[in-house]
Structure 1
Amino acid sequence: MPGGQAADATLGRVLHHGNFNKGSTKIMSRYFIDCRNYPGEHKCSVALAADTKEELLEAVVQHGTKVHGYQDTPEFRDKMIKEFQEGTPPLKV
């Protein structure tokens, strides 16, 4: 029985890394930021997502400093947190 309500319920229980939230269909909220929304010198198509803002911030700081040359400053971190969106990145921008 592919697809349908049973498949939707199963997807609702799947959490990050394939863990199941037994007895609940609550979907965890995720946060993301997508470089495609910020055109610049680099034609970057990276999108980062995580279950928590803290985890996402650490990934964004690593990517931003190594790939885009930003400095890891409190101002940079504050600016990035304000750009986080709830959900998952779209396939196309």
Structure 2
Amino acid sequence: MGLSELGRFSEPALLVLISLADGPKHGYAMQHDIAELTGGRPGPGTLYGAVRRLEELGLITPHETDDARRRPYELTSLGRRQLQAELERLRTVAHTGLRRLATA
């Protein structure tokens, strides 16, 4: 399954994937990580809506744990590949935009 079949990621979904890129996290830890990255903390509805969609797409999965109070998630191998592809696409877009600004 390619990115074109999955569609583009919403910003919250992309931020969840980035947050999970360095290992499993539960919701509060993802919120904190995203806040450090962006300066804005996603609300629970936004965060868990993105988590649900990413799980349905097979990009993240619940991480096995003995802690019943917290449910951490982790990237699947498909999620890691899709995140890599999306970040490379965004790098190209950002590079082009910055180059055009410099010549304007």
Larger Rg: 1 or 2?
1
Q: TM-score, normalised by structure 2?
A: 0.31
Structure whose residues are more often helix by fraction: 2
Counting strand residues as a fraction of each chain, which structure ranks higher? 1
